[in-house]
């Protein structure tokens, strides 16, 4: 960020982080999938805290287009 | 009669703003995301070295001491040999500073403790675990599975030991997140419960004796608040040092 007035040092920052970025992508995908499943489950689909409560959530945008 | 509030209310997520996106999903700005952005802003604007001055001021010394604390977590022999673990210092410093600042912000009365949300801390620890597995496979390919076979294991015990080591590896990743979250939740719950007790002593019965007795839990509250500050630092240190252990295990397996 030399444009903010900081000095540039040749420390490799991004390359060592690549495995952890990959790990974050895998964990993020799994957690969002689990969240989606919980939102659509019978226990929580009519919960007042659920922002999608009372709405029919399609499994995918393609399925929604197919129903019309 | 007065209302008793649940001490678990302080951990509830409250939605401030909900924006509908084009694909039926909803972008929510809650107290969690608000305090997350606040933490990032504080770290971004507060944590910097005084590069423009030749003579460091006291603030530079503070930043340098935090740097020294984190760099001393890395085992000395690995830095001297090939400095491969030193490449992960920016990650370790970021984890240390982020968890420290979130823990300390959570201690401010009427704020929100981000690290008390188990799902967030668990996602962080599982990311570190998955990242260290990917790193291990990248460096050692299938020799990474040597990590599950301790040195000098008798052959007849090998299947059992491998299963136990496999389970313990993943249990370590889970415990990394649960440890931090459980400590913060327990501390905040204790503070809330003692606060309710003090409120009961001072406001339920307006007598001098109950007010004097109420000073006891008040002093306990002050002591536990100081303990919570210490726990914030300790848990940050423990999280970072265990992250170092994960990365070091992936790089070095059994010290080969």
Q: Which residue of A has its CA nearest to B122?
A: A27
Q: Which distant-in-sequence residues (6+ apart) come within 8 Å of B139 by Cβ?
A: B250, B251
Q: Work out how many domains chain A is built from and give that number.
A: 1
pTM (2 d.p.): 0.87
Contact between B60 and B49 under an 8 Å Cβ cutoff? The reply is: yes
Residue A58 inside a domain? The answer is yes
Q: Do A24 and B18 touch (CB under 8 A)?
A: no
- According to DSSP, the residues that pair with B28 across neighbouring strands are B18
Residue A43 inside a domain? The answer is yes
pLDDT, residue B2, reads 56
Q: Do B51 and A26 touch (CB under 8 A)?
A: no
Average pLDDT over chain B, rounded to whole? 87
Residue B255 pLDDT grade (very low, low, confident, very high; cuts 50, 70, 90): low
* ipTM of predicted assembly, 2 dp: 0.84
pLDDT tens digits for range A35-67: 989 988 888 888 887 777 766 655 555 545 554
- Identify the helix (H) or strand (E) that includes residue B18: strand B15-20
Residue B28 sits at the chain A interface (C-beta within 8 Å): yes
Q: Do A23 and B26 touch (CB under 8 A)?
A: no
Residue A10 inside a domain? The answer is no
Q: Which residues of A touch B85 (CB under 8 A)?
A: none
Domain that holds residue A42: 28-68
Residue A11 inside a domain? The answer is no
Residue A9 inside a domain? The answer is no
Residue B112 pLDDT grade (very low, low, confident, very high; cuts 50, 70, 90): very high
Q: What is the DSSP string of B167-214?
A: HHHHHHHHHHHHHHHHHHHHHHHHHHHHHHHHHHHHHSS--HHHHHHT
Query: B233 vs chain A: nearest CA distance in angstroms?
Result: 24
Residue A63 inside a domain? The answer is yes
Residue A17 inside a domain? The answer is no
Number of Cβ atoms within 10 Å of the Cβ of B132: 25
Residue B53 sits at the chain A interface (C-beta within 8 Å): no
Residue B83 sits at the chain A interface (C-beta within 8 Å): no
Residue A16 inside a domain? The answer is no
Q: Which residues of B touch A17 (CB under 8 A)?
A: 90-91
Instruction: Return the sign of the alpha-carbon dihedral for residues B246, B248, B251, B256.
Output: negative
Residue B256 pLDDT grade (very low, low, confident, very high; cuts 50, 70, 90): very low
**Start-to-end CA span in chain B (Å):** 68
- In degrees, to the nearest 5, what angle opens at C-alpha B104 toward C-alphas B123 and B37? 60
Residue B24 sits at the chain A interface (C-beta within 8 Å): yes
Q: Which residues of A touch B129 (CB under 8 A)?
A: 23
> In this complex, how many residue pairs, one in chain A and one in chain B, have their CB atoms less than 8 Å apart?
62
Q: Do B132 and A16 touch (CB under 8 A)?
A: no
Q: Which distant-in-sequence residues (6+ apart) come within 8 Å of B198 by Cβ?
A: B214, B217, B218, B221
Alpha carbon distance B225, B217 (integer Å): 12
- Beta-sheet strands, E only, within B26-181: 26-30
């Amino acid at each position: 960020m030399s444009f903010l007035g900081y000095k540039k040092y040749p420390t490799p920052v991004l390359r060592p982080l690549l495995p952890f970025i990959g790990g974050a992508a895998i964990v993020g995908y799994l957690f969002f999938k689990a969240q989606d499943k919980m939102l659509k489950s019978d226990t929580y689909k009519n919960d007042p805290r659920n922002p999608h409560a009372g709405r029919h959530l399609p499994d995918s945008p393609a399925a929604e287009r197919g129903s019309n | 009669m007065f209302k008793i509030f649940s001490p678990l209310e302080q951990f509830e997520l409250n939605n401030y703003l909900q924006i509908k996106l084009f694909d039926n999903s909803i972008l929510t700005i809650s107290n969690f995301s608000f305090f997350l952005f606040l933490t990032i802003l504080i770290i971004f604007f507060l944590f910097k070295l005084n590069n423009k001055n030749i003579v460091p001021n006291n603030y530079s010394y503070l930043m340098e001491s935090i740097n020294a604390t984190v760099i001393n977590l890395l085992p000395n022999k690995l830095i001297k040999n090939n400095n491969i673990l030193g490449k992960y210092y920016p990650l370790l410093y970021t984890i240390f500073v982020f968890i420290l600042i979130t823990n300390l912000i959570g201690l401010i009365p009427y704020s929100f403790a981000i690290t008390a949300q188990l799902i967030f801390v668990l996602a962080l620890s599982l990311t570190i675990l998955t990242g260290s597995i990917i790193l291990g496979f990248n460096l050692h390919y299938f020799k990474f599975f040597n990590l599950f076979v301790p040195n000098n294991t008798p052959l007849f015990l090998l299947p059992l030991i491998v299963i136990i080591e496999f389970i313990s590896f993943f249990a370590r990743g889970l415990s990394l997140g649960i440890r931090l979250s459980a400590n913060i939740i327990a501390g905040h719950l204790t503070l809330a419960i003692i606060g309710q007790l003090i409120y009961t002593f001072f406001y339920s019965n307006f007598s001098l004796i109950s007010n004097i007795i109420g000073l006891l839990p008040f002093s306990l509250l002050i002591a536990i608040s100081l303990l919570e500050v210490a726990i914030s630092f300790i848990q940050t240190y423990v999280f970072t040092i265990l992250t170092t252990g994960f990365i070091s295990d992936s790089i070095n397996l059994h010290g080969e």
